Amino acid sequence: MKLGFLVDLNLCMGCKGCEVACKVENEVPLSSWRLRVKYIDIGTFPDASRSFTPLRCNHCENAPCERICPVSALHYLENGIVNVDNERCIGCAGCMMACPYGAIYMDPETNTADKCTYCAHRVESGMMPACVVACPVQANIFGDVEDENSHISRYIMEHQGAVQVRKPEKHTDPKHYYVGGGNQTLNPLAHERIEGYNLFNKITHLEHVGDPHHGVLDRFLAPFAGHKEVDNKSFMNFDNTKAEGEHEAAESHEQEGGH
């Protein structure tokens, strides 16, 4: 048995249900991810489109992370899953640097490596990974790639010529496949989205010279005139002087009215 994963990008609609299910099932810290859906904008208006690419550990048959681990914390299960033993991990981060897919993170609470394990604990109990169950359009397909009659094997056969993997030049033999992807959607260097789309990341940087969005939200930002940049981090300094003065005046008026 060799378990693998396939994502049909023609079906994925970017709802991030799989991403949320993964975090809940595996108690992934908010600042990290085992699975994330990458948004990629392609082309320019009026011929622009958006593609969604779920990214997770590729469970490579020739996994660099497994080879480099000095304590065998990353190891293969009999079904081909590259698993992580957090009790063995010494937090050296060698696996994180060796992974060509950026799929490994260091847990900020345990200081040990963590990543997608295809929900090995669920698979062991005969269940599907949480992300597969959560997908409303069945874009995630999981199963035994060595079984010719499995759903994933039949899907791969039916889409011969359209099945791709990420970074084939690394010769890691990943067991994570994509259908419907292109060079840009599978390219890890592809820009996720035009930065200006993210209002909350942009809102405190509109004053930067040359920013094409400068002035768009002037009326919205008017109440935040106390904005300052400190140590490359944005802080909103609300001037409460006027509000405090009005509050004191109101209290004084109430006291005078009571005499």
Residues 6+ apart with CB under 8 A from 16: 37
Residue 243: the pLDDT is 45
Residue 122: the pLDDT is 98
173 and 57 housed in the same domain: yes
Lowest mean pLDDT: which of 135-149, 179-193, 229-243? 229-243
Mean pLDDT value of segment 37-47: 85
CB 86 within 8 A of CB 110: yes
Residue 63: the pLDDT is 98
By residue range, what is the domain housing residue 29?
3-186
Using 50, 70 and 90 to split pLDDT, how confident is the model at 46? confident
174 and 215 housed in the same domain: no
Report the amino acid identity of residue 125. Answer: S
Name the token pair of 149.
């009659």
Domain stops at, among 186, 210, 234: 186
Distances (CA, A) of 232 to 204, 205, 211, 235: 11, 11, 17, 10
pLDDT single digits (tens) 223-240 = 545 544 434 333 333 344
Asked if the model's pLDDT at residue 117 lies above 50, the reply is yes
**Other CB atoms within 10 Å distance of the CB of residue 88:** 15
Domain stops at, among 149, 164, 186: 186
Handedness of CA 32, 197, 100, 156 (dihedral sign): positive
Handedness of CA 167, 168, 170, 175 (dihedral sign): positive
16 and 86 housed in the same domain: yes
**What's the CATH number where 158 sits?**
3.30.70.20
State phi, psi for 168 to the nearest 5 degrees.
Answer: -60, -25
Mean pLDDT value of segment 167-179: 95
Asked if the model's pLDDT at residue 98 lies above 60, the reply is yes
Report the amino acid identity of residue 112. Answer: T
149 and 218 housed in the same domain: no
Residue 17: the pLDDT is 96
Using 50, 70 and 90 to split pLDDT, how confident is the model at 118? very high
41 and 105 housed in the same domain: yes
162 and 207 housed in the same domain: no
Structural domains in the chain (count):
2
pLDDT single digits (tens) 191-203 = 555 444 444 443 4
Mean pLDDT value of segment 145-164: 94
SS3 196: helix
Mean pLDDT value of segment 18-25: 97
Domain stops at, among 186, 211, 239: 186
104 and 226 housed in the same domain: no
